[in-house]
Amino acid sequence: MLLRIPQVLTKEQVSHCRERLASADWIDGRVTAGLGSAKVKKNTQLPEDSAVAVELGDLILTALESNAIFVSAALPSRVFPPLFNRYEVGDGFGAHVDNAIRQGLDAEARIRTDLSCTLFLSAPDEYDGGELTVDDTYGSHSVKLPAGDMVLYPSTSLHAVTPVTRGARIASFFWLQSMVRDDGQRTLLFDFDRSIQALNADHAGHAAIVPLTGIYHNLLRRWAEL
């Protein structure tokens, strides 16, 4: 499942992030790339232990905790601390698949990467190129979202960032381990949950809502890993 989640951050929060990032110290982005990925990656990013990265990462995680679409779609168990990258003219990231396991500075940040997240902090008209391309069974998808919007997709997907030809693309990226590792099962649960919510919105108190909610939780109980 490839899912756009709109307005994860407000305009004010995006502006705050951009102000803090403007004066931050950036390093070679290959520090978080595996051997193969490092050969096709050219960008800069904030050090993982940067005070700015920690501050803004906490801001993003707090926003996600109250985002109903994110929680329903991701069913997060552990979220890797958000990182931040910048692609300038000539920068890009060739086709690659994210590492299966991510180890952060804190030993407890070690996770299985079930889902990858890109939260856009630059508006689309600020740069040319820089599209995130994600391949799945339905073809290749090009993603370039408004600042504050996020895309969520399986970490098993082959993906890339096309070269930037004007301006700069700034984003936060991170991974998460879901309570339900299978993408097909997660997608089914997400669709089921959204359908129940829609039914409740249109027909509050409908007799089918309680048994359907029970089926949802019984499926989650069957598939969840804690």
Residue 157 Cα distances to 6, 11, 195, 200, angstroms: 21, 30, 26, 34
Return the pLDDT at 138: 85
What is the number of domains present in the chain?
Answer: 2
Binding-site residue positions for Fe cation? 96, 98, 159
Q: Tell me the pLDDT tens digit for each residue of 61-110.
A: 999 999 999 999 999 999 999 999 999 999 999 999 999 999 888 777 78
Range of the domain at 34: 3-178
pLDDT above 70: percentage of residues in the chain: 98
The CATH number given to whatever domain includes residue 106 is 2.60.120.620
Q: What is the mean pLDDT of residues 18-28?
A: 96
* Pair (166, 82) in one structural domain: yes
The predicted pLDDT at position 38 comes to 76
Q: What is the pLDDT of residue 113?
A: 97
Residues 135 and 201 in one domain: no
Long-range pairs for 68-73: beta carbons < 8 A, 24 or more residues apart: 69/3, 69/5, 70/5, 70/8, 70/150, 70/152, 72/189, 72/190, 72/193, 72/194, 73/1, 73/3, 73/5, 73/152, 73/186, 73/190
Tell me the binding residues: 96, 98, 159, 169
Domain co-membership, 52 together with 160: yes
Query: Stretch 31-52: mean pLDDT, rounded?
Result: 86
Q: Is the domain of 96 the same as that of 142?
A: yes
In the structure, what pLDDT confidence band is assigned to residue 31 with cuts at 50, 70 and 90? confident
Q: Are 170 and 197 found together in one domain?
A: no
Residues 189 and 168 in one domain: no
CATH number of the domain enclosing 208: 4.10.860.20
Say whether both 43 and 154 belong to one domain: yes
> Does residue 35 register a pLDDT over 80?
no
pLDDT of residue 33 exceeding 80, the answer is no
pLDDT of residue 14: 98
Q: Which tens digits make up the pLDDT trace of 156-187?
A: 999 999 999 999 999 999 999 999 999 999 99
Q: What does the pLDDT look like over 138-152, one tens digit per residue?
A: 899 999 999 999 999
pLDDT tops 90 at residue 24: yes
Q: Do 131 and 161 lie in a common domain?
A: yes
Give the pLDDT score at 34: 66
One domain for residues 56 and 99: yes
Do 10 and 90 lie in one domain? The reply is yes
In this structure, the answer to whether residues 79 and 149 fall within a common structural domain is yes
Mean pLDDT, rounded, of the chain: 95
pTM of the model: 0.94
What does the pLDDT read at residue 91?
97
Task: Output the known binding site for 2-oxoglutarate.
Answer: 169
pLDDT at 126 over 70: yes
Same domain? 122 vs 205 = no
